């Protein structure tokens, strides 16, 4: 049974989807069988891998018919990486689930139906702490937090960790913090180094050694529907995510 990792940060623009897509691709490059579930109605992870789902086969449909989840999965360019894509309709789920019994566990049922086929399941979450993100935290074994190396990115981390603790206490006692990955790092910026120091002081050994730099190729790759390792293998962004993939596997114990 595969490990399920929720990639969460309620602040937008911190490299969350970039991390989800490129970590998934890096693990697939290591011949790890990976499923990326796009839990964000913006569907950026879906488009970033050049997947165009139809109205009947996507995560929104799977939420309400978990037994069909395997039929909703799409292939990518790498045979080891598969995708359960998102569509804008998923935005309705945050409202629709409110009145459902066991509303926090719909995604968990989807994951249970497919997890035996994968070594890793990565959940790319929306930039909020709504019901879709709570569903992801309830479905996950581990939490991975991408954190931009800028001052404002530090704001809200306390809120996120509070939500993490509440979910652990009330809904998913098996959820653990895997770690924090620093993103968009500009080594020329003194503030970036200060933010790194603060994050390492706060989270200690839970901060990955690998730091993801600001990189033009990382920004360009999604517009071509490719992970950065397929778009420009030799770029700094590509090499950073390959290194993160190796560290990730070591940390998670596989």
Question: What's the rounded Cα separation, in Å, for the pair 86 and 42?
Answer: 8
Question: What's the rounded Cα separation, in Å, for the pair 93 and 91?
Answer: 5
In this structure, are strands 176-183 and 81-84 parallel, antiparallel, or unpaired?
A: unpaired
Domain contains 254? no
Looking at the DSSP bridge assignments, the partners of residue 177 are 143
**HSE on the CB side for 7, CA within 13 Å?**
28
In this prediction, residue 182 carries a pLDDT of 96
* pTM score, whole prediction: 0.96
Number of domains in the chain: 1
Residues 6+ positions from 49 with CB-CB distance below 8 Å: 21, 36, 76, 77, 81, 83, 225, 226, 227
**Cα-trace Rg, the chain:** 17
Beta strand spans in the chain (E): 3-7, 34-38, 74-75, 81-84, 120-124, 142-148, 176-183
Domain contains 100? yes
In this prediction, residue 254 carries a pLDDT of 54
Domain of 73: which CATH number?
Answer: 3.40.50.300
Residue 40: how many CB atoms within 10 A of its CB?
26
Residues 6+ positions from 15 with CB-CB distance below 8 Å: 146, 148, 183, 184, 212
Sheet holding 3-7, edge to edge: 74-75, 81-84, 34-38, 120-124, 3-7, 142-148, 176-183
Each as own residue / partner, the long-range contacts of residues 60-63 (CB below 8 Å, 24 or more positions apart, any chain) are: 60/86, 60/87, 60/89, 60/90, 60/92, 60/93, 62/110, 63/93, 63/97, 63/106, 63/107, 63/110
What is the span of the domain harbouring residue 97? 3-249
State the sign of the Cα–Cα–Cα–Cα dihedral 210, 216, 219, 222. Answer: negative
pLDDT values of the chain reduced to their tens digit, one per residue, 254 residues: 689 999 999 888 889 999 999 999 999 999 999 999 999 999 999 999 999 999 999 999 999 999 999 999 999 999 999 999 999 999 999 999 999 999 999 999 999 999 999 999 999 999 998 999 999 999 999 999 999 988 777 777 888 899 999 999 999 999 999 999 999 999 888 889 998 999 999 999 999 999 999 999 999 999 999 999 999 999 999 999 999 999 999 999 75
């Amino acid at each position: 049974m595969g490990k399920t990792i929720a990639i969460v940060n309620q602040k937008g623009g911190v490299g969350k989807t970039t991390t989800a897509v490129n970590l998934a691709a890096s693990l697939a490059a290591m011949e790890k069988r990976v499923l990326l579930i796009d839990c964000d109605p913006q569907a950026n992870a879906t488009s970033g891998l050049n997947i165009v789902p139809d109205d009947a086969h996507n995560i929104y449909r799977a939420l309400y018919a978990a037994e069909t989840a395997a039929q909703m999965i799409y292939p990518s360019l790498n045979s080891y990486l598969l995708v359960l894509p998102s569509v804008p309709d998923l935005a309705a789920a945050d409202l629709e689930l409110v009145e459902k019994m066991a509303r926090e566990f719909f995604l968990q049922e989807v994951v249970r139906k497919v997890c035996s086929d994968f070594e890793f399941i990565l959940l790319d979450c929306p930039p909020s702490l709504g019901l879709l993100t709570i569903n992801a935290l309830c479905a996950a074994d581990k939490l991975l937090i991408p954190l931009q190396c800028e001052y404002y990115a530090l704001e809200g981390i306390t809120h996120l960790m509070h939500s993490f603790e509440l979910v652990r206490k009330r809904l998913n006692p098996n959820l653990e913090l895997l770690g924090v990955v620093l993103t968009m790092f500009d080594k020329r910026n003194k503030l970036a180094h200060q933010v790194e120091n603060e994050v390492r002081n706060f989270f200690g050994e839970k901060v990955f050694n690998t730091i993801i730099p600001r990189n033009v190729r990382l920004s360009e790759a999604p517009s071509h529907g490719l992970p950065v390792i397929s778009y420009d293998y030799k770029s700094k962004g590509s090499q950073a995510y390959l290194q993160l993939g190796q560290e990730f596997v070591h940390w998670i114990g596989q």
